[in-house]
Each structure stands twice: as structure tokens, then as C-alpha cells.
Amino acid sequence: MPKTTKSNKQPHSSTHLAAPLAGKVALVTGASRGIGRAIALRLARMGAAVAVCGRDKSALDAAHREIEKASARVYSQLADVTRSADIAELVAKTEGALGPISILVNNAGVGIFGPVQQRTEQEFDQVLATNLKSVFLVSRAVIPGMIRQNSGDIVNISSLAGRNAFPGGAIYCASKWGLQGLTACMAEDLRDFGIRVSSILPGSVATEFGPHVKDPSKALVPEDIAHAVATLLTQSKQSFISEIQLRPLRKS
């Protein structure tokens, strides 16, 4: 069941400094754990009302409770962002609970790795649907509202795999290279409406998604990506950072 929480917390007296996203409504996909959860928490602490979705109820409920501690207004809903019907319901109920969406973070993603000749059609469809098609579907559902507001931010969480090839990465790289192209074209389509579309390309991140990370000291953490999102959302109105690449300081 969808879940909405409203608390009695009052805005900070220095709203702009302490809560630069006060009055904004953010939707973060794939936010029940890892990078998405860190992003949702960061936006809540910056004053935004936050909606989150995922497919794991227990993880989503836990994320909801954690975000609730940081934000006066939070909404969560189970949703499969590869399905148009789920997305339509998610956007409608988010806006009904929190108001018009002004920030969208497309974070939902999966990774299947291994030699291309060993991968299946089903695996290809799963990765491309989650990492690429869902960005198109969710953005398409949110954009009309942003056009009405004549402003908005769409942040797509990509990967350095969208710029670099590596053995065993064929399907994943294909999805992220495609996401880079989609992001760039969306940005050109929407900039005249006051809508910024940007991508963040992290390297290795120490999460459940990245079991290949052998030395966490040589990997990013989810909060690093959340910091990059915050940077995009707090730039001046006339500025447009189209892409941020993030790498661990130390090479593995």
C-alpha cells in the first residue's frame, strides 16, 4: 500500500540556508537502498518533500521511516518503473500527496555482467528496460508538470560504464551508453522550458549492487553520489551542469 507521512516539524528559521530545497517535491526511483536511499535522505535533509519507490516492501518501509526522521513530508509506494501503469499511478499519487514534482532522480538500475555470448535475451531485456526504458517512461510522465511550472530538474544516475567498455559489461554498458544519449537529447528538448536534465556517472560504489568492489577504501560510497545530486540542484538558476563524473580517489 502507498504510504504518506506528515510530521509536525516546522521549517528552519533560516530556510534558504538550512533548507535550500524547501517547497520542492522530489521523486527518487529505486530508493529503497543504496544510492537511491542516500539521495532521498540528502534531499529530505535539504528541505524537500520526498517520494520514493521500489519493489522490495520491507526495504522501502525501512527507507520511508529513515527519511521521515529528516523530512516533514514523505511518500512511498511499491512500483515497477518499467511498467507505464505503475508509473502513472506513482506520479499521480505522489502529486496528490505532496504536490507538483519539481525534481526527478532516475536512479533505479540493475546490473548483469559476463561475456556477451553467455547472456540471454531475457537478461538483455531486463537490463535495458530498467536502466534505460524506465528513465524515458518516468521522465515522460513527470515532464508535463515541469513544463507547466516552467522549471524542473531531472537527474539521471548513469555510470562511467556509459563512457568506457570493459570485459563482461556488454549489456550494462549498452544500457548506460544509451542513457547518456537519452539524457543529452532530453536536455536539448527541455532547456527552453527551464528544465535541466543532467547525468551523474559514478565509478565503483560500495553497495549491494557492486559486489565486485574488493577494497571499500578504493570505492565511492552512496553519499558521494548524493552530494553530486545536491550540487546539481543548488546551482544558480542560469547555470546548467550537464554531467558530473565521479571516481574513487585511489585506483583499485
For domain 21-246, say whether CATH 3.40.50.720 is its number: yes
Clarify whether 172 is annotated catalytic: yes
pLDDT at 11: 45
Q: Of 48, 76, 86, 172, which is the active-site residue?
A: 172
With CA atoms as reference, report the closest residue to 95 among 146, 57, 59, 133.
146
Q: How far apart are CA 40 and CA 28, in angstroms?
A: 6
70 phi and psi angles, rounded to 5 deg: -105, -20
pLDDT at 251: 81
Q: How far apart are CA 3 and CA 13, in angstroms?
A: 28
The rounded average pLDDT for each run of 10 residues, N- to C-terminus, in the chain (252 residues) is 58 61 97 96 96 96 93 90 97 98 97 96 98 98 98 98 95 98 98 98 79 71 97 97 95 75
Question: 183 Cβ partners below 8 Å, 6+ apart?
Answer: 135, 156, 158, 197, 198, 199
How many CA within 13 A on the CB side of residue 58? Answer: 0
pLDDT at 16: 59
Contact 34, 108 (CB under 8 A): no
pLDDT at 164: 95
pLDDT at 6: 60
* Domain map (residue ranges) of the chain: 21-246
pLDDT at 221: 94
pLDDT at 202: 96
20 phi and psi angles, rounded to 5 deg: -65, -15
pLDDT at 82: 97
